[in-house]
Amino acid sequence: MLLALPTTTLLWYFRTCDTRENIHQNYFFDAFKKLTNNKVVRHEIATQRLTNLVKKVPKYKEEIKLAFIKVLKSFPRKSTSNYERRTYATVAYQ
């Protein structure tokens, strides 16, 4: 009994950490799919999701910043409004 309780607690802790990491990764990749879509609404949703994710998991900050920079560079110059550029630039450097 004395060995079972610490072992169970340790296994539960690692399982919880692993599950939380999987949820964050799924959230991360889903937001990137939305970010690479051509619809502005999906860009806004992805921006909000990634901003929230950076607050929860700071270790993704660099990857998210690079993704925003890459997406900004991929936009055609004429069709991108100043508002969209400012929004992505603000979020990328937070």
pLDDT tens digits, residue range 49-72? 888 888 888 888 898 888 888 877
The pTM of this model reads 0.60
- Quick one: average pLDDT of 14-29? 90
Closest alpha carbon to 92 in 38, 35, 41, 40: 35
Written as six digits, the tokens of 53 are 């994710």
Q: Residue 82's pLDDT is what?
A: 56
Domain count, the chain: 1
CA distance 58 to 16: 19
Looking up tokens 């270790």 gives 59
- Report residue 93's pLDDT band, with 50, 70 and 90 as the boundaries: low
Q: Residue 83's pLDDT is what?
A: 56
Position 36: which residue type? T
Q: Are the C-beta atoms of residues 64 and 92 closer than 8 Å to each other?
A: yes
User: Residue 76's domain spans which residues?
Assistant: 4-92
The 8-class DSSP code of residue 68 comes to H
Assess whether pLDDT exceeds 70 at residue 36: yes
Calculate the average pLDDT of the chain.
80
